[in-house]
Amino acid sequence: METMSGSAALMRSMEKDGVKQVFGLPGGANLPMYDELFKSNIRHILVRHEQSAAHMADGFGRVSRKPGVCFATSGPGATNILTGLATAQADSAPMVAVTGQVPVKMIGRDAFQESDIIGMSNPVVKYAFQPRKPEEMPLAVQRGFYIAETGRPGPVLIDVPKDVQENKAPMEFPEEFQMRGYHPWMDPDVTGIERAINMLLSSTKPIILAGGGTIISSAFAELQAIAEMLGIPVVTTFKGKGAFPETHPLSMGPIGMHGHAEANKIMIEADCVLAIGTRFSDRSVGTVEDFEKQLKIIHIDVDPAEIGKNQTASVAIVGDVRASLRIMLSLLGKKAKHEDTVWRKHAAEVKSYWRDNLKIHSGEMSAARILRKLREVLPKESIVTTEVGQHQMWASLFFDVIQPGTFFSSTGLGTMGWGFPAAIGAKVAKPDVPVVDIAGDGSFNMTENSLATSVLEDIPVIVFLVNNFTLGMVAQWQRTFYDRRMIGVDQKHCPDYVDLAKSYGAHGTRVQSLDELGSAIKEALSSNVTTVIDIPIDPEEDVLPFVAPGTPLKDMILPS
């Protein structure tokens, strides 16, 4: 066994796990780690705030399907990443966060920059480690990465006291290990899948609801094959947007609070739903009782804790989504008969009607028109992230995802400021693919200092800034539910985003027409530096259709 410090063992272990880069910010309590990072082959990407480091790691993890890694020091550095951890946990993103901690003998004594990050993070991580001896580091890291990326992915925290980083010990790096009580995968129940098939085939109005688990397991081909084999319309949750090509004839788009009109309409008419990798969020299904009242539910999920949590399943299949769908495909081959059913024709008619007749906001630079222009110009393989707010929901409605697995958003926690740093992480994961952050001004404001990281670390992305000079979604709710008593939403002229971008060394441009927008997107795609495209729109424009909180999908509010 080789003798080395805990920090050296941390780097050796991460290199063994294939880590090529970490996103982080140094401080007093993690300097030993940084000193070893300096000696390693791992790239350090300097952030301007620890929350952004976590979001970058999150974006990297969602795109690469491997844990993104972020570093933070102790105390406030550690607590700053909590929002990023909670965001990753809510959306099942693989991540490993490594924080510094005060020396072991000082823990619990209110030492300078001490925080109980283990206690604080436990509710929002998949698992947390705090090695108390340097020789514990290799196994803690190995287990951390394994937990983060297996089963239902999630964030893992490794909190390392400073003396554990500094002290030396003989190190063993095991090739194999066991974890008692952790069983990330279960073999899907074939009998249950057979029951599900019979239920689907005996239904007259079946529908497929694809959630984020479909994207996590990369079950795109299997989902499309089943939908086409049975001729069943496909809706998605918002997190599942992009699990199925939205230009496909069977695609109805996302359901829910900000779902497509045709998706919500056809969802409430269905008599049986094949729900794949979804937790039946209230934002997707509206009121729980009304959603399941008329439906037979077939629920496939890798996490047994999701079964029966929000909806009662007639048939439940616990297991990896892709493995489950592959079994279903093999069994369907003997039974399925592709028919142009009355239900399928009806779904197509509903879709055609609402695509042709949904009233959109007037004016050339409406949200619908600018997002359709982005779709028109952007290559289909481009990766898109979003911030959180009205622009996010307009993206749900008007930006079609053509290539599955290329659209990512903070859907569970709804974290403003997530999109831009996540886009940077996504670009690190796939440097040869264009990456665009669809942003709103309020959300972009929260992490715009990541422009420094993007420029200085040479990680160019495009910020598609839908600028209505306000906290748009809050303003919409104040207009709709609070009789236009507007408070705390005005963000006029603060800042000038073109000047802001230029001050960081990025490109900044403002557009006033669709022609200018198309040219700006093309120019940004060919640029080797981040571009912020400032797109002023009407502050009074609402996101519609809309299902108000606490109401069923059938009560969807449509544009008048």
Count each helix (H run) and each strand (E run) in the chain, helices first.
24, 20
Average pLDDT over residues 531-545: 96
64 touches 387 (CB < 8 A): no
If pLDDT is split at 50, 70 and 90, which confidence band does 339 have? low
Written as one letter, the residue type at 387 is E
Average pLDDT over residues 12-33: 97
Per-residue tokens: 523: 């120019």
Backbone angles phi, psi at 549, to 5 degrees: -55, 140
- Scanning the structure block, which residue is given the tokens 């209505």? 468
Using alpha carbons, list the distances in angstroms from residue 19 to 13, 42, 60, 267, 388: 9, 7, 11, 43, 29
Using alpha carbons, select from 96, 107, 102, 103 the residue that is nearest to residue 143: 96
315: β partners? 298
5: β partners? 168
Which pLDDT tens digit goes with each residue over 254-293? Answer: 999 999 999 999 999 999 999 999 999 998 998 888 887 7
Tell me the C-alpha distance between 271 and 265, whole Å: 13
Tell me the C-alpha distance between 460 and 454, whole Å: 6
pLDDT reading at 345 higher than 90: yes
- Residue 545, preceding bond cis, omega within 30 degrees? yes
Residue 493 pLDDT = 72
- Name the 3-class secondary structure at 237: coil
Q: pTM value?
A: 0.96
Distance of CA 156 to the CA centre of its chain: 17
- Residue 549, preceding bond cis, omega within 30 degrees? no
Average pLDDT over residues 358-371: 94
Residue 289 pLDDT = 81
Which pLDDT tens digit goes with each residue over 240-252? Answer: 999 999 999 999 9
Question: 261 vs 338, which has greater pLDDT?
Answer: 261
- Enumerate the active-site residues: 50, 112-113, 162, 473
Tell me the C-alpha distance between 41 and 148, whole Å: 22
CB atoms under 10 Å from CB of 5, counted, come to: 21
HEC readout, 276-338: ECCCCCHHHHCCHHHHHHCCEEEEEECCHHHCCCCCCCCEEEECCHHHHHHHHHHHHCCCCCC
72 touches 88 (CB < 8 A): no
Report the half-sphere exposure of 317 (CA within 13 A, side-chain side).
29
Report the percent of the chain where pLDDT is more than 90.
91
270 touches 182 (CB < 8 A): no
CB atoms under 10 Å from CB of 97, counted, come to: 34
pLDDT reading at 560 higher than 80: no
Which pLDDT tens digit goes with each residue over 297-320? Answer: 999 999 999 999 999 999 999 999
Residue 492 pLDDT = 83
247 touches 544 (CB < 8 A): no
Per-residue tokens: 194: 């057979």
Per-residue tokens: 125: 């991580």
Average pLDDT over residues 133-148: 97
Residue 325 pLDDT = 97
If pLDDT is split at 50, 70 and 90, which confidence band does 111 have? very high
Report the half-sphere exposure of 462 (CA within 13 A, side-chain side).
24
Question: 360 vs 436, which has greater pLDDT?
Answer: 436
Average pLDDT over residues 99-104: 98
Per DSSP (E only), the strands in 106-154 are 127-129
Using alpha carbons, select from 299, 306, 294, 230 the residue that is nearest to residue 266: 294
DSSP H stretches of helix in 388-469: 390-398, 419-429, 441-447, 450-456
Report the percent of the chain where pLDDT is more than 70.
99
Residue 202 pLDDT = 93
Tell me the C-alpha distance between 179 and 423, whole Å: 34
104-108, 281-285, 398-402: least confidently modelled range: 281-285
37 touches 203 (CB < 8 A): no
Residue 174 pLDDT = 87
Which pLDDT tens digit goes with each residue over 38-80? Answer: 999 999 999 999 999 999 999 999 999 999 999 999 999 999 9
Average pLDDT, the chain: 95
Residue 337 pLDDT = 65
**Which helix H or strand E contains 376, and what residues bound it?**
helix 367-377
Residue 181 pLDDT = 86
Which pLDDT tens digit goes with each residue over 116-127? Answer: 999 999 999 999
Residue 318 pLDDT = 96
Which pLDDT tens digit goes with each residue over 444-497? Answer: 999 999 999 999 999 999 999 999 999 999 999 999 999 999 999 998 877 999
Tell me the C-alpha distance between 255 and 278, whole Å: 12
